[in-house]
Each structure stands twice: as C-alpha cells, then as structure tokens.
Amino acid sequence: MSTHPDIIPQAGILDISPYTAGKSGPGGGNRVTKLSSNENPLGPSPLAKTAYMDMAACLEIYPPSDHADLRNAIAEVHGLNSKNIICGAGSDEIIAFLCQTYAGQGDEVLYTEHGFAMYRISAMAAGATPVIALESNRTADIDALLAACTDATKLVFLANPNNPTGTMVSDAEIARLAENLPKQALLVLDGAYAEYVPSFDGHAGLVKGRKNVFMTRTFSKIYGLGGARVGWGYGPDHVIGALNRVRGPFNVSAAGLKAAIAAINDKQYTAKCQQENIKWREWLSAELALVGVPSDPSQTNFILARFGDDKTALECDAYLAKNGLIVRVVTSYGLAECLRITIGDEIGCRAVAGRVAEFMKGARA
Ligand SMILES: *Cc1c(COP(=O)(O)O)cnc(C)c1O
C-alpha cells in the first residue's frame, strides 16, 4: 500500500487488515445467487420499502438527531426503556463508538477465536490491543474468556449466536461471564442474529439491572435492511450517555429511520422470515450432512459447512461460483476448511444443496 513521508496515520492504523466483505459475484448479465453476506433472501417488509421510498420526497431535510421515533418503536416491541437505546449506521457503527469510547493505547479488547471481524478492526482503529480467547468446538468458551481477562481489558465482545460459527451459548453462561469480569470491563453482547432464535431476547434481560453489560442489534439481518445501514444498542445510562457524546448528530439517514420503524412494526413479516429460515436451514444442513458435509447446529441464517480440509473447501467454493452460487470463504476467521453458506430462499437452498452434492460426488470446476 502507498504511504506519504509526512502525512502519517496514527500508530497502529496501517496494521489493520481491511474488512473483506462477502463476494457479490461477477458483474454483468450472469445470474448469481448471493449466499455470502447473510442477507434476507425475502428482502425487507414491503411496508419498509414503501416507507423508504416515501422519503425521496424530502431528501433535502436533515434527519432527526435524537432518533426518538425509532427508539420508541424498538422500546415498544422489545419492552425496553427508550432512553437506554442508541441508534447507529448499522451496529458496526455502535461497535466503533464502543471502542472509541472505552479502549485506547494500552487497553485490551477481548473477543473469541472466531469472533466477528469488526471487533478487531474497531479495537485497532481506536489504538487498543485486540486479544483472542480460544473457543471449544467452534463455540464460545466462557472459562477461556474469563482466563484471558487482565487489568487492561476494557471491552469483551461476544456475538450470541456467533458469526461465522452459528453456535450459541446459554443465558446462564453469559450471566456467569458478566458476573465474573474484571470491574473495569464492559461486556458487549452482539445480537445481530437474535431475531432468528425463537423467543430469544438477545440478552436484553441480562442488560437490565446490570451496569456492565451492553447489547447491540441490527436491521441488516432478519429485517433485510443491510443497504439502509441501521443498527442499535441498549445499555445502562452511563454507557448510553458516553456513546452519545461520540455519535455524530445525523448518523442515521432519514429514510433508514423510517424503513426501520416500518420493519420492526411488521411483526407478521418478521415471524414469517424466522419460520422460513428455520425450515430451510434445517433442510439444507440435513442435505449437506447426507453427502458428507457436516455443520454445527446453527441458530442463525447461515450454516458453517465443514469440508474436512482447506483444499476441498476452496475447490467447492470454486465449483459453486462456476455455477452462479456465491458463498463465503472464511479463511480470515481461521476456518479455511469451512464455507459459510447463507440460508437463501427455497430455490437458493435447493441449488446449493444440489451443487455441493455434485461436487462431493467428484464434480470439479
Ligand atoms: C452482520 C453483523 C453485524 C452488523 O452489521 P451492521 O450491518 O453493521 O448492523 C454485527 N455483528 C455481527 C456478528 C454480524 O454478523
């Protein structure tokens, strides 16, 4: 990469490996099915689309800076206090606010072995040191996390269920983590996939009544609004107060706010997306297991398919790509023998199951 002799980024910035997004596939006319970024194959609620398009009539108007309408809608649906909610341009922005606010030079940001890439990037962008706790069988290990804590640990990020493993640990285990962290550490529970788990509150209940636990959520996954960039966080007064000092006043777009409100209020549509996802996830994981490609029980809208070795996984990725199916190589997560496959619609699931079966029976790109 190119550098300038005098205009120099802060220490550590150039050590960051940039985020690699799920591939979109070849441009042009080729029809591809994108199963690489955990997007909702059914798209957002039609009501959210209409709300978004309606905002085209007043694009010159700045959005509200307090996000009150969206915070109230979230509070109502989840039974939370709206003053303990903060909205961001995706939950990625909330993750960045947390790192900027709580972690700097000499501080440690802890997360699990196969934790979401943005924890490391945001920690390093803030000048802090990322620290990894090993998982056990691709599942967060609470004892390993506790053992990795030091006097310098400021933030502990844990996605539950986790991306890219799809696995989940119990509420009791998370409570044990919260209760045994060093006193200067804030536990951040990333609930990006919480809506895919029936009757799961994303650990909102653990945030209530504690001063050291925070929850992040997103409209990018089950709500199908990844392109609109809306996420939120829920936590104690002292954290919300600090994050709001870092947040820019107009960080969420007007159309994004309106679309998110419509999406969260369309509970019927969300329930349908949850049911379809479970149905096709269970079908796909069973089909792949039958042809020798196992995966851990997933609680999310993707499965982490295990191919036994790196070479087979890469060859299968190439075979799928040749046939218009884009999945996610997860080498950067230390899972080179796996491919992460988003649960598509029925057509997408049948297509990927069929192609993986062909590949396992000897077909090659
Ligand atoms: C997708 C994802 C997010 C968030 O994405 P945004 O689009 O920025 O809200 C956060 N955490 C995990 C674990 C994710 O997989």
Give 349 Cα–ligand 1 centroid separation in angstroms: 22
Kindly state the helix (H) or strand (E) to which residue 290 belongs, with its residue range: helix 267-290
**Stretch 94-112: mean pLDDT:** 97
Confidence band for 7, pLDDT divided at 50, 70 and 90: confident
**Nearest 5 degrees, angle CA 174-CA 222-CA 77?**
70
| Among the four given CATH numbers 3.40.190.170, 3.40.190.10, 3.90.1150.10, 2.102.10.10, the one describing domain 20-43+268-364 | 3.90.1150.10
138 has a pLDDT exceeding 80: yes
117 lines ligand 1 (CB under 6 A): no
The tens digit of pLDDT for each residue in 26-46 reads 555 567 899 999 999 999 999
The tens digit of pLDDT for each residue in 146-168 reads 999 999 999 999 999 999 999 99
Give 237 Cα–ligand 1 centroid separation in angstroms: 23
Give 365 Cα–ligand 1 centroid separation in angstroms: 32
Residues 149 and 110: beta-carbon distance below 8 Å? yes
192 lines ligand 1 (CB under 6 A): yes
Whether this model's pTM surpasses 0.85: yes
92 lines ligand 1 (CB under 6 A): yes
Pairing outcome for strands 302-306 and 325-326: unpaired
Instruction: Name the region of 241 (left: φ>0; alpha: ψ -120 to 50; beta: rest).
Output: alpha
Cα–Cα distance, 215 to 203 (Å, whole number): 7
The domain 46-265 having CATH identifier 3.40.640.10: the answer here is yes
Residue 214, strand partner residues? 188
The ligand 1 atom nearest the CA atom of 159: 13
φ and ψ at 55, to 5 degrees?
Answer: -75, -10
The ligand 1 atom nearest the CA atom of 226: 7
* Sequence letter at residue 223: Y
186 burial type by CB count under 10 A (0-12 exposed, 13-18 middle, 19+ buried): buried
Residue 132, strand partner residues? 111
Q: Which residue shows structure tokens 């939950």?
A: 91
144 burial type by CB count under 10 A (0-12 exposed, 13-18 middle, 19+ buried): middle
The tens digit of pLDDT for each residue in 240-252 reads 999 999 999 999 9
Give 7 Cα–ligand 1 centroid separation in angstroms: 32
115 lines ligand 1 (CB under 6 A): no
The tens digit of pLDDT for each residue in 287-300 reads 999 999 999 999 99
Report the nearest-CA residue for atom 3 of ligand 1. 192
Give 28 Cα–ligand 1 centroid separation in angstroms: 28
Confidence band for 25, pLDDT divided at 50, 70 and 90: low
232 lines ligand 1 (CB under 6 A): no
The ligand 1 atom nearest the CA atom of 95: 10
The ranges of the chain annotated as CATH 3.40.640.10 are 46-265
218 lines ligand 1 (CB under 6 A): yes
Give 123 Cα–ligand 1 centroid separation in angstroms: 16
DSSP per residue over 331-355, as a string?
GGGT-TTEEEEE---HHHHHHHHHH
Please, what sign has the CA dihedral across residues 101, 106, 112, 113?
positive
Give 190 Cα–ligand 1 centroid separation in angstroms: 8
Please give the mean pLDDT across all residues of the chain. Answer: 96
84 lines ligand 1 (CB under 6 A): no
Cα–Cα distance, 57 to 72 (Å, whole number): 24
Q: No. of H helices and E strands in the chain?
A: 12, 12
Least confident window among 13-17, 50-54, 280-284, 291-295: 13-17
The ranges of the chain annotated as CATH 3.90.1150.10 are 20-43+268-364
157 lines ligand 1 (CB under 6 A): no
Give 192 Cα–ligand 1 centroid separation in angstroms: 5
Pairing outcome for strands 302-306 and 108-112: unpaired
**Stretch 10-18: mean pLDDT:** 87
Give 1 Cα–ligand 1 centroid separation in angstroms: 27
**Nearest 5 degrees, angle CA 59-CA 269-CA 90?**
45
Cα–Cα distance, 100 to 126 (Å, whole number): 5
* Sequence letter at residue 238: H
The tens digit of pLDDT for each residue in 196-237 reads 999 999 999 999 999 999 999 999 999 999 999 999 999 999
94 lines ligand 1 (CB under 6 A): no
Cα–Cα distance, 56 to 255 (Å, whole number): 8
Give 273 Cα–ligand 1 centroid separation in angstroms: 18
- Ligand 1 site-directed mutation target among 220, 298, 301, 330, most atoms within 8 Å of CB: 220
φ and ψ at 65, to 5 degrees?
Answer: -90, -15
Pairing outcome for strands 108-112 and 153-159: parallel
Cα–Cα distance, 194 to 242 (Å, whole number): 25
Q: At CB < 8 A and 24+ separation, what contacts does 50-53 make?
A: 50/262, 51/255, 51/258, 51/259, 51/261, 51/262, 52/228, 52/255, 52/256, 52/258, 52/259
